[in-house]
Amino acid sequence: MSITILGVETSCDETAAAVLVDGVELRSNIVASQVEVHKKFGGVVPEVASRKHLENVNPVIMEALDKAGITLRDITAVAVTYGPGLVGALLVGVAAAKALAYALDIPLIGVNHLEGHIAANFLARPDLEFPLLCLVVSGGHSDLVYMPHRGVYQPLGRTRDDAAGEAFDKVARAMGLGYPGGPLIDKLARQGDPEAIKFPRAFLEEGSLDFSFSGLKSAVLNYLNRARMLNEEINMADLAASFQRAVVEVLVDKTIVAAERCEVKTIMMAGGVAANGGLRSLLEQRAADVGCRVVYPPLNLCTDNAAMIACAGYYKFLRGDFAPLTLNAIPGLPL
Protein backbone atom coordinates (compact mmCIF):
# COMPACT_ATOMS: atom_id res chain seq x y z
CA MET A 1 0.00 0.00 0.00
CA SER A 2 1.33 3.43 -0.82
CA ILE A 3 2.04 6.08 1.81
CA THR A 4 0.48 9.45 1.04
CA ILE A 5 1.74 12.34 3.16
CA LEU A 6 0.07 15.75 3.26
CA GLY A 7 2.72 18.35 4.19
CA VAL A 8 1.79 21.72 5.69
CA GLU A 9 4.19 24.67 6.13
CA THR A 10 3.40 28.09 7.66
CA SER A 11 6.57 29.01 9.58
CA CYS A 12 7.20 32.40 7.98
CA ASP A 13 5.56 34.16 5.04
CA GLU A 14 4.58 31.25 2.78
CA THR A 15 1.40 29.23 3.26
CA ALA A 16 2.17 25.89 1.66
CA ALA A 17 0.69 22.41 1.28
CA ALA A 18 1.92 19.42 -0.73
CA VAL A 19 0.99 15.81 -1.40
CA LEU A 20 3.85 13.30 -1.57
CA VAL A 21 3.42 9.60 -2.32
CA ASP A 22 6.05 7.09 -1.13
CA GLY A 23 8.64 9.78 -0.48
CA VAL A 24 9.39 10.56 -4.14
CA GLU A 25 6.22 11.07 -6.14
CA LEU A 26 5.35 14.74 -5.66
CA ARG A 27 1.69 14.96 -6.71
CA SER A 28 1.22 18.62 -5.80
CA ASN A 29 3.18 21.47 -4.26
CA ILE A 30 1.15 24.63 -3.61
CA VAL A 31 2.80 27.78 -2.23
CA ALA A 32 0.80 30.94 -1.50
CA SER A 33 3.49 33.56 -1.11
CA GLN A 34 2.91 36.70 0.95
CA VAL A 35 5.90 38.50 -0.57
CA GLU A 36 3.70 41.18 -2.19
CA VAL A 37 2.00 41.92 1.16
CA HIS A 38 5.28 42.29 3.09
CA LYS A 39 7.17 44.09 0.32
CA LYS A 40 5.91 47.51 1.30
CA PHE A 41 7.30 47.02 4.83
CA GLY A 42 10.70 45.85 3.55
CA GLY A 43 10.43 42.58 5.52
CA VAL A 44 8.02 40.11 7.09
CA VAL A 45 5.55 41.59 9.60
CA PRO A 46 4.70 38.68 11.96
CA GLU A 47 1.14 39.75 12.83
CA VAL A 48 0.26 40.28 9.16
CA ALA A 49 1.81 36.89 8.30
CA SER A 50 -0.40 35.06 10.84
CA ARG A 51 -3.55 36.69 9.51
CA LYS A 52 -2.68 35.82 5.93
CA HIS A 53 -1.95 32.20 6.90
CA LEU A 54 -5.39 32.02 8.51
CA GLU A 55 -7.02 33.17 5.28
CA ASN A 56 -4.92 30.86 3.10
CA VAL A 57 -4.37 27.64 4.97
CA ASN A 58 -7.60 25.78 4.16
CA PRO A 59 -7.80 26.83 0.48
CA VAL A 60 -4.13 25.92 -0.01
CA ILE A 61 -4.62 22.45 1.53
CA MET A 62 -7.73 21.85 -0.61
CA GLU A 63 -5.88 22.99 -3.72
CA ALA A 64 -3.01 20.60 -2.94
CA LEU A 65 -5.47 17.69 -2.59
CA ASP A 66 -7.35 18.68 -5.78
CA LYS A 67 -4.18 18.97 -7.81
CA ALA A 68 -3.01 15.60 -6.52
CA GLY A 69 -6.36 14.12 -7.53
CA ILE A 70 -7.13 12.81 -4.05
CA THR A 71 -9.55 13.53 -1.22
CA LEU A 72 -8.96 13.90 2.51
CA ARG A 73 -9.75 10.19 2.92
CA ASP A 74 -6.69 9.20 0.87
CA ILE A 75 -4.13 10.80 3.21
CA THR A 76 -2.03 8.35 5.26
CA ALA A 77 -0.55 10.99 7.62
CA VAL A 78 -0.22 14.74 7.95
CA ALA A 79 3.20 16.33 8.51
CA VAL A 80 3.53 19.91 9.71
CA THR A 81 6.30 22.38 10.58
CA TYR A 82 6.12 23.13 14.32
CA GLY A 83 9.29 25.23 14.59
CA PRO A 84 11.52 27.12 14.36
CA GLY A 85 9.68 30.16 12.98
CA LEU A 86 7.25 32.91 13.89
CA VAL A 87 5.02 31.60 16.65
CA GLY A 88 1.75 33.07 15.35
CA ALA A 89 2.49 31.79 11.86
CA LEU A 90 3.48 28.29 13.02
CA LEU A 91 0.34 28.00 15.15
CA VAL A 92 -1.93 28.29 12.12
CA GLY A 93 -0.35 25.30 10.34
CA VAL A 94 -0.08 23.25 13.53
CA ALA A 95 -3.76 23.84 14.37
CA ALA A 96 -4.86 22.92 10.83
CA ALA A 97 -2.76 19.73 10.82
CA LYS A 98 -3.96 18.67 14.25
CA ALA A 99 -7.59 19.19 13.23
CA LEU A 100 -7.08 16.98 10.16
CA ALA A 101 -5.22 14.27 12.08
CA TYR A 102 -7.96 14.18 14.71
CA ALA A 103 -10.91 14.29 12.32
CA LEU A 104 -9.44 11.68 9.93
CA ASP A 105 -7.88 9.58 12.71
CA ILE A 106 -4.48 9.50 11.01
CA PRO A 107 -0.96 10.04 12.41
CA LEU A 108 0.30 13.57 13.01
CA ILE A 109 4.00 14.18 12.33
CA GLY A 110 5.84 17.24 13.66
CA VAL A 111 8.69 18.40 11.43
CA ASN A 112 11.53 20.79 12.26
CA HIS A 113 11.71 23.44 9.52
CA LEU A 114 15.48 22.89 9.11
CA GLU A 115 14.95 19.13 8.80
CA GLY A 116 12.48 20.03 6.04
CA HIS A 117 15.00 22.19 4.17
CA ILE A 118 17.55 19.36 4.35
CA ALA A 119 14.94 16.80 3.20
CA ALA A 120 14.31 18.82 0.02
CA ASN A 121 17.50 17.14 -1.22
CA PHE A 122 16.02 13.66 -0.74
CA LEU A 123 12.99 14.41 -2.92
CA ALA A 124 15.00 14.20 -6.11
CA ARG A 125 17.79 12.02 -4.66
CA PRO A 126 16.37 9.51 -2.17
CA ASP A 127 19.50 7.36 -2.53
CA LEU A 128 22.08 9.88 -1.32
CA GLU A 129 24.65 7.95 0.70
CA PHE A 130 25.45 8.87 4.27
CA PRO A 131 27.41 10.41 5.90
CA LEU A 132 26.32 13.78 4.53
CA LEU A 133 26.97 17.41 5.34
CA CYS A 134 24.36 20.09 4.77
CA LEU A 135 24.78 23.84 4.56
CA VAL A 136 21.38 25.33 5.38
CA VAL A 137 21.26 29.00 4.39
CA SER A 138 17.94 30.81 4.45
CA GLY A 139 16.26 33.97 5.68
CA GLY A 140 16.42 32.73 9.26
CA HIS A 141 19.33 30.28 9.30
CA SER A 142 22.97 29.73 8.44
CA ASP A 143 23.68 26.25 9.78
CA LEU A 144 26.18 23.50 9.09
CA VAL A 145 24.66 20.14 9.92
CA TYR A 146 26.39 16.74 9.88
CA MET A 147 24.20 13.69 9.21
CA PRO A 148 26.01 10.41 10.00
CA HIS A 149 22.78 8.50 9.26
CA ARG A 150 19.24 9.28 8.12
CA GLY A 151 17.29 11.11 10.80
CA VAL A 152 20.40 11.98 12.87
CA TYR A 153 21.40 15.64 12.87
CA GLN A 154 24.57 16.97 14.50
CA PRO A 155 24.73 20.78 14.31
CA LEU A 156 28.34 21.86 13.78
CA GLY A 157 27.90 25.61 13.47
CA ARG A 158 25.25 28.27 13.29
CA THR A 159 24.83 31.99 12.91
CA ARG A 160 25.58 34.06 15.98
CA ASP A 161 23.61 37.05 14.71
CA ASP A 162 22.11 37.73 11.26
CA ALA A 163 21.41 34.73 9.03
CA ALA A 164 22.91 34.83 5.53
CA GLY A 165 19.55 35.55 3.86
CA GLU A 166 18.77 38.21 6.45
CA ALA A 167 22.07 39.95 5.62
CA PHE A 168 21.19 39.84 1.89
CA ASP A 169 17.73 41.28 2.62
CA LYS A 170 18.97 44.06 4.92
CA VAL A 171 21.79 45.11 2.60
CA ALA A 172 19.41 45.10 -0.40
CA ARG A 173 17.01 47.32 1.51
CA ALA A 174 19.80 49.79 2.35
CA MET A 175 20.82 49.80 -1.32
CA GLY A 176 17.21 50.57 -2.27
CA LEU A 177 16.84 47.36 -4.27
CA GLY A 178 13.64 45.99 -2.69
CA TYR A 179 12.54 42.78 -1.02
CA PRO A 180 13.43 39.92 -0.92
CA GLY A 181 16.97 41.10 -1.48
CA GLY A 182 18.86 37.86 -2.13
CA PRO A 183 17.81 37.28 -5.75
CA LEU A 184 18.17 41.02 -6.55
CA ILE A 185 21.74 41.19 -5.20
CA ASP A 186 22.57 37.89 -6.92
CA LYS A 187 21.44 39.33 -10.27
CA LEU A 188 23.17 42.68 -9.85
CA ALA A 189 26.38 41.02 -8.62
CA ARG A 190 26.79 39.30 -12.00
CA GLN A 191 27.61 42.69 -13.57
CA GLY A 192 29.96 43.81 -10.79
CA ASP A 193 33.56 43.27 -9.68
CA PRO A 194 33.70 41.20 -6.45
CA GLU A 195 37.18 42.58 -5.67
CA ALA A 196 36.15 46.25 -6.06
CA ILE A 197 35.42 46.94 -2.38
CA LYS A 198 37.22 45.19 0.48
CA PHE A 199 34.64 44.17 3.06
CA PRO A 200 35.54 42.27 6.26
CA ARG A 201 35.17 38.49 6.55
CA ALA A 202 34.22 37.21 10.01
CA PHE A 203 35.95 33.86 10.45
CA LEU A 204 35.58 34.07 14.26
CA GLU A 205 37.93 32.15 16.54
CA GLU A 206 40.26 29.43 15.20
CA GLY A 207 38.37 26.27 14.25
CA SER A 208 34.88 27.72 14.82
CA LEU A 209 32.19 26.69 12.34
CA ASP A 210 29.81 29.43 13.51
CA PHE A 211 28.88 32.33 11.26
CA SER A 212 28.44 36.06 11.86
CA PHE A 213 27.21 38.47 9.23
CA SER A 214 26.15 41.53 11.22
CA GLY A 215 29.65 43.10 11.07
CA LEU A 216 29.67 42.78 7.30
CA LYS A 217 26.18 44.24 7.10
CA SER A 218 27.29 47.26 9.18
CA ALA A 219 30.36 47.69 6.97
CA VAL A 220 28.13 47.90 3.88
CA LEU A 221 25.77 50.36 5.60
CA ASN A 222 28.76 52.53 6.66
CA TYR A 223 30.10 52.42 3.10
CA LEU A 224 26.73 53.55 1.73
CA ASN A 225 26.27 56.30 4.35
CA ARG A 226 29.78 57.67 3.81
CA ALA A 227 29.43 57.72 0.03
CA ARG A 228 26.02 59.40 0.23
CA MET A 229 27.28 62.00 2.71
CA LEU A 230 30.24 62.85 0.46
CA ASN A 231 28.04 62.76 -2.61
CA GLU A 232 30.29 60.11 -4.13
CA GLU A 233 28.93 57.98 -6.93
CA ILE A 234 28.21 54.40 -5.86
CA ASN A 235 28.70 51.54 -8.30
CA MET A 236 25.80 49.35 -7.11
CA ALA A 237 26.89 46.32 -9.13
CA ASP A 238 30.40 46.42 -7.60
CA LEU A 239 28.88 46.88 -4.16
CA ALA A 240 26.52 43.91 -4.64
CA ALA A 241 29.33 41.72 -6.01
CA SER A 242 31.77 42.65 -3.23
CA PHE A 243 29.19 42.08 -0.48
CA GLN A 244 28.09 38.77 -1.99
CA ARG A 245 31.68 37.58 -2.31
CA ALA A 246 32.31 38.39 1.38
CA VAL A 247 29.28 36.29 2.45
CA VAL A 248 30.01 33.45 0.05
CA GLU A 249 33.72 33.14 0.91
CA VAL A 250 32.99 32.61 4.60
CA LEU A 251 30.15 30.15 3.91
CA VAL A 252 32.30 28.14 1.50
CA ASP A 253 35.45 28.18 3.65
CA LYS A 254 33.66 26.82 6.71
CA THR A 255 31.71 24.27 4.69
CA ILE A 256 34.93 22.85 3.25
CA VAL A 257 36.57 22.72 6.72
CA ALA A 258 33.49 20.84 8.01
CA ALA A 259 33.46 18.46 5.03
CA GLU A 260 37.09 17.54 5.61
CA ARG A 261 36.61 17.24 9.36
CA CYS A 262 33.61 14.89 8.93
CA GLU A 263 35.14 13.07 5.95
CA VAL A 264 32.01 13.34 3.81
CA LYS A 265 31.97 12.87 0.07
CA THR A 266 28.73 14.77 -0.57
CA ILE A 267 27.76 18.28 0.52
CA MET A 268 24.08 19.20 0.33
CA MET A 269 22.82 22.77 0.20
CA ALA A 270 19.40 23.87 1.38
CA GLY A 271 17.38 27.04 2.03
CA GLY A 272 16.66 30.10 -0.09
CA VAL A 273 20.29 31.32 -0.26
CA ALA A 274 21.27 27.95 -1.81
CA ALA A 275 19.81 29.48 -5.00
CA ASN A 276 22.67 32.01 -5.05
CA GLY A 277 24.75 31.70 -8.21
CA GLY A 278 27.99 32.92 -6.60
CA LEU A 279 27.63 30.47 -3.70
CA ARG A 280 26.91 27.53 -5.96
CA SER A 281 29.86 28.09 -8.26
CA LEU A 282 32.47 28.78 -5.54
CA LEU A 283 31.31 25.85 -3.40
CA GLU A 284 31.35 23.47 -6.36
CA GLN A 285 34.84 24.60 -7.29
CA ARG A 286 36.29 24.32 -3.76
CA ALA A 287 34.49 21.02 -3.07
CA ALA A 288 35.94 19.48 -6.22
CA ASP A 289 39.43 20.40 -4.96
CA VAL A 290 38.89 18.20 -1.88
CA GLY A 291 37.12 15.39 -3.75
CA CYS A 292 33.55 16.24 -2.74
CA ARG A 293 30.47 16.77 -4.86
CA VAL A 294 27.78 19.36 -4.18
CA VAL A 295 24.07 18.69 -4.57
CA TYR A 296 21.13 21.03 -4.15
CA PRO A 297 17.38 20.88 -4.63
CA PRO A 298 15.70 22.50 -7.65
CA LEU A 299 15.21 26.24 -7.20
CA ASN A 300 11.52 26.05 -6.23
CA LEU A 301 12.35 23.56 -3.47
CA CYS A 302 15.19 25.70 -2.01
CA THR A 303 12.82 28.35 -0.69
CA ASP A 304 10.04 27.56 1.79
CA ASN A 305 7.59 24.90 0.57
CA ALA A 306 5.58 21.99 1.95
CA ALA A 307 7.02 19.27 -0.34
CA MET A 308 10.16 19.28 1.83
CA ILE A 309 8.03 19.00 4.97
CA ALA A 310 6.10 16.07 3.47
CA CYS A 311 9.42 14.42 2.55
CA ALA A 312 10.89 14.79 6.06
CA GLY A 313 7.50 13.58 7.34
CA TYR A 314 7.67 10.49 5.13
CA TYR A 315 10.95 9.31 6.71
CA LYS A 316 9.57 10.04 10.19
CA PHE A 317 6.48 8.01 9.26
CA LEU A 318 8.72 5.05 8.32
CA ARG A 319 10.37 5.32 11.75
CA GLY A 320 6.99 5.56 13.48
CA ASP A 321 8.00 8.97 14.83
CA PHE A 322 4.55 10.48 15.43
CA ALA A 323 3.48 13.55 17.41
CA PRO A 324 0.70 13.68 19.99
CA LEU A 325 -2.36 15.84 19.33
CA THR A 326 -1.01 18.18 22.03
CA LEU A 327 1.76 19.21 19.58
CA ASN A 328 2.54 22.90 20.02
CA ALA A 329 4.41 25.49 17.97
CA ILE A 330 7.98 25.99 19.24
CA PRO A 331 9.47 29.20 17.73
CA GLY A 332 13.06 28.41 18.84
CA LEU A 333 12.94 24.65 18.15
CA PRO A 334 16.50 23.28 17.89
CA LEU A 335 17.40 20.61 15.34
Binding-site size, ligand KG4 (CB under 6 A): 19
Question: Candidates 37-45, 162-170, 252-260, 316-324 — which segment interacts with ligand KG4 by CB under 6 A?
Answer: 162-170
Shortest CB 64 distance to ligand KG4, Å: 18
**CA 219 to the chain's CA centroid:** 25
Q: Does 21 bind ligand KG4 (CB under 6 A)?
A: no
Number of H helices, E strands in the chain: 11, 10
d(CA 163, CA 133) in angstroms, rounded, equals 19
Q: Which C-beta is closer to ligand KG4: that of 106 or that of 158? A: 158
Nearer to ligand KG4, 238 or 304 (CB): 304
> Do 93 and 52 touch, CB atoms closer than 8 A?
no
Among 7, 157, 183, 192, binds ligand KG4 (CB under 6 A): 183
Non-local CB neighbours of 123 within 8 Å, separated by 6+ positions: 20, 24, 26, 297, 301, 307, 308, 311
**DSSP 3-state assignment of 187?**
helix
The only residue of 10, 138, 212, 266 in contact with ligand KG4, by rule CB under 6 A: 138
Task: Indicate the helix (H) or strand (E) that contains 319.
Answer: helix 307-319
Inter-CA distances, 64 with 6, 27, 58, 59, Å: 8, 8, 10, 9
Residues 263-282 that bind ligand KG4 (CB under 6 A): 271-273, 275-276
Position 4 contacts ligand KG4 (CB under 6 A): no
The answer to whether the beta carbons of residues 142 and 213 sit under 8 Å apart is: yes
> Which residue of 143, 169, 210, 238 would you call a contact of ligand KG4, by CB under 6 A?
169
Choose the binding region for ligand KG4 from 32-40, 62-70, 95-103, 133-141 (rule: CB under 6 A).
Answer: 133-141
Q: CB of residue 41 vs ligand KG4: minimum separation in angstroms?
A: 15
81 three-state secondary structure: strand
Q: How far is the CB of 9 from ligand KG4 (least distance, A)?
A: 9
**Torsion over CA: 45, 47, 50, 54 (sign):** negative
Q: How far is the CB of 289 from ligand KG4 (least distance, A)?
A: 23
180 near ligand KG4 (CB under 6 A)? yes
Name the amino acid, one letter, at 145: V
Q: Which residues from 296-315 bind ligand KG4, rule CB under 6 A? A: 303-304
**CA–CA gap between residue 242 and residue 233 (Å, rounded):** 16
Min. distance of Cβ 70 from ligand KG4 in angstroms? 26
Does 186 bind ligand KG4 (CB under 6 A)? Our answer is yes
Judged by the rule CB under 6 A, the positions of this chain that interact with ligand KG4 are 12, 138-140, 165, 168-169, 180-183, 186, 271-273, 275-276, 303-304
